Amino acid sequence: CIHVKIRRCKYCVNAGDSLLTLMKEISPDLNWLRLWAANGNDDNDVRTSTIHDPDMLALDQQQQVVNVGPVYRSVPGDTLMTVAARFRTTIKSLLLLNPDVAIAAALPVQQDLCLIPCAA
């Protein structure tokens, strides 16, 4: 067996991408300014870079990584419904951002979830 660990809430930018095109792909109902807010300041992550111009992504050959949103780590008793309610988002949005998460009565403790708050 091979186990692959994927960093949540990160997206590898492709040539020609802008924050608008990324947001339409990630969550079509939301404004691209959310992505700019998540990437407009240094986050002390060497894999991501601060975005100064939302239309100027991946201009060079180097792959750029952007933050999609914050990562929430579940606590005992959390369900998709309670997390969605707490962060004013939807279960559908949580499942789109976390395709490996199963719909279950309770989330595993310390399950990392990518989320976009206030998306409901």
Q: CA–CA separation, 56 vs 15, rounded Å?
A: 10
pLDDT at 62: 62
Percentage of the chain beyond pLDDT 70 is 93
Q: Give the burial class of 15: count Cβ atoms within 10 A of its Cβ; 0-12 exposed, 13-18 middle, 19 or more buried.
A: exposed
* Contact present, 88 and 117 (Cβ < 8 Å): yes
- Under the banding of pLDDT at 50, 70 and 90, the label for residue 73 is very high
pLDDT at 79: 94
Residue 104 has pLDDT above 80, yes or no: no
Range 64-92 average pLDDT: 92
Q: CA–CA separation, 9 vs 28, rounded Å?
A: 16
- Under the banding of pLDDT at 50, 70 and 90, the label for residue 61 is low
Please tell me whether residue 71 adopts helix, strand or coil conformation: strand
pTM to 2 decimal places: 0.79
pLDDT at 11: 86
